Amino acid sequence: MAGLTGKVKKDDKREERIMYEIIVDAHDEDEQAMGWYYYIEDCLQFPFDAKCTKKIATSPLELNENVTVIELADFDLCRHGISVIVQWQKKQLAVPLEQILPVNTTIEAIEDWHYWIERGYEL
């Protein structure tokens, strides 16, 4: 788990959960991606409403735009970052999970992923 000095303060409890529950047996980036993928898959219940919280150059979502998250993207799309499938303008589109947050609820797995990204960690 190589990280950089991130944008958020270190959270020892979250770091411990990530190390001992999510990427516990990961020996390389692919295994880390698999650990994250199955952790998030186990925690999310679809569909759920979400809001775009950051603009990302590779995504057409606009800041504060609402979408419905309908499923986790296939693992092949999540090898270098977790993506979800959203309903967007009558289309289904894969977007990075770090770009959205659930509306009117908190989902720890999504917060864990956002923390991972904001601390500068990578798959």
Domains and CATH numbers, the chain: 12-118 (2.30.30.530)
Give the integer Cα–Cα distance in Å for 102 and 26: 28
Give the integer Cα–Cα distance in Å for 38 and 53: 24
Please state, rounded to an integer, the average pLDDT across all residues of the chain.
93
In contact, 67 and 52? CB cutoff 8 Å: yes
Residue 17, both tokens: 């959960």
Please determine, for residue 6, whether its predicted confidence score (pLDDT) is greater than 90.
no
- Predicted local distance difference test score (pLDDT) of residue 72: 98
Encode pLDDT of 47-103 as tens digits.
999 999 999 999 999 999 999 999 999 999 999 999 999 999 999 999 999 999 999
Residue 115, both tokens: 């923390």
